[in-house]
């Protein structure tokens, strides 16, 4: 691969393996997995429950360590960084949206969304202004003072998405971003991801079972039993293949 092509990659996973458990109960979840995540693309990771999707995105986001293989994320060799270095790197450059949202219950929406900016040393007033802007983009401009418990699941999910986008990270990784959203809000969120990925040359990596959003992908990676078994580049001439629309739901 040329240097220019390498520079286009937000993440390059080469021969990554991961097992859980010990001895006879040891389960190999990722088997020398290969994946390229390009800037400017929305890459979707699909496949049956338990095939290793969440494990893979957790390794790319640096919240879990691989047992073997190489991993370049935004030009950094994550396998050579300490846990503290990875935590700092993630806070600055990666927006990670957990399936469980992980919002702070005692903080309002605007305070939750401000957190990544405050960690970076942005002043409280600037952070609040920017957080309100992003909450507006996800359709929650009227809910800035609410606490997470006062919101529906879909609204909490949009707050988590706003928090992941607020500091304009170069790589956005999300587990089932539209699972709790109705068609209208799912569309709002995917449009926002498209805007972020294409307009600003960032990369979006999504784990999904949601057939409704496949057409937003540039690339669909189909996983099975710890491996990427198919890659489809999606465009006007190459719509998402029908057989991927029947992947097992959670």
CA distance 46 to 217: 11
Residue 241 near residue 232 (C-beta atoms within 8 A): yes
Number of residues that bind ligand ADP (CB under 6 A): 11
Distances (CA, A) of 90 to 22, 33, 44, 94, 113: 29, 22, 20, 5, 16
Site string for ligand ADP, 25-64 (x = CB under 6 A): ----x-----------------x-xxxxxxx---------
Nearer to ligand ADP, 88 or 245 (CB): 245
Nearer to ligand ADP, 47 or 148 (CB): 47
CB of 3 to ligand ADP, least distance (A): 33
CB of 20 to ligand ADP, least distance (A): 3
- Would you call 76 helix, strand, or coil by DSSP? strand
Nearer to ligand ADP, 51 or 180 (CB): 51
76-135 binders of ligand ADP (CB under 6 A):
none
Residue 42's DSSP bridge partners are 204
Residue 235 near residue 218 (C-beta atoms within 8 A): yes
CB of 111 to ligand ADP, least distance (A): 30
CB of 116 to ligand ADP, least distance (A): 24
Residue 38's DSSP bridge partners are 9
CB of 173 to ligand ADP, least distance (A): 13
CA distance 126 to 114: 9
Nearer to ligand ADP, 134 or 228 (CB): 228
Nearer to ligand ADP, 22 or 235 (CB): 22
- Residue 82 tokens, joined: 């300490």
Residue 109 near residue 146 (C-beta atoms within 8 A): yes
Residues that bind ligand ADP (CB under 6 A): 20-21, 29, 47, 49-55
């Amino acid at each position: 691969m040329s240097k220019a092509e390498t520079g286009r990659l937000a993440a390059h996973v080469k021969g990554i393996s991961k097992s859980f458990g010990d001895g006879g109960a040891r389960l190999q979840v990722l088997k020398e997995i290969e994946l390229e995540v390009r800037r400017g693309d929305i890459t979707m990771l699909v496949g049956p429950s338990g095939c290793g999707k969440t494990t893979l995105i957790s390794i790319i986001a640096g919240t879990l360590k691989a047992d073997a293989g190489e991993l370049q994320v935004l030009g950094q060799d994550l396998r050579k960084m300490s846990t503290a270095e990875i935590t700092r790197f993630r806070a600055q450059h990666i927006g990670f949206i957990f399936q469980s949202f992980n919002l702070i219950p005692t903080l309002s929406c605007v305070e939750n969304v401000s957190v990544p900016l405050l960690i970076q040393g942005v002043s409280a007033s600037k952070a609040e202004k920017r957080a309100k802007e992003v909450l507006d983009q996800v359709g929650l401009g009227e809910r800035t003072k609410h606490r997470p418990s006062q919101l529906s699941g879909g609204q909490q999910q949009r707050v988590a998405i706003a928090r992941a986008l607020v500091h304009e990270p170069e790589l956005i990784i999300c587990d089932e971003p539209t699972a709790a959203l109705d068609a209208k809000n799912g569309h709002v969120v995917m449009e926002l991801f498209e805007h972020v990925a294409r307009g600003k040359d960032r990369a979006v990596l999504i784990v999904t079972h949601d057939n409704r959003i496949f057409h937003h992908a540039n690339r669909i990676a189909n996983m099975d039993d710890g491996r990427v078994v198919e890659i489809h580049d999606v465009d006007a001439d190459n719509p998402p293949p029908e057989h991927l629309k029947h992947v097992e739901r959670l």
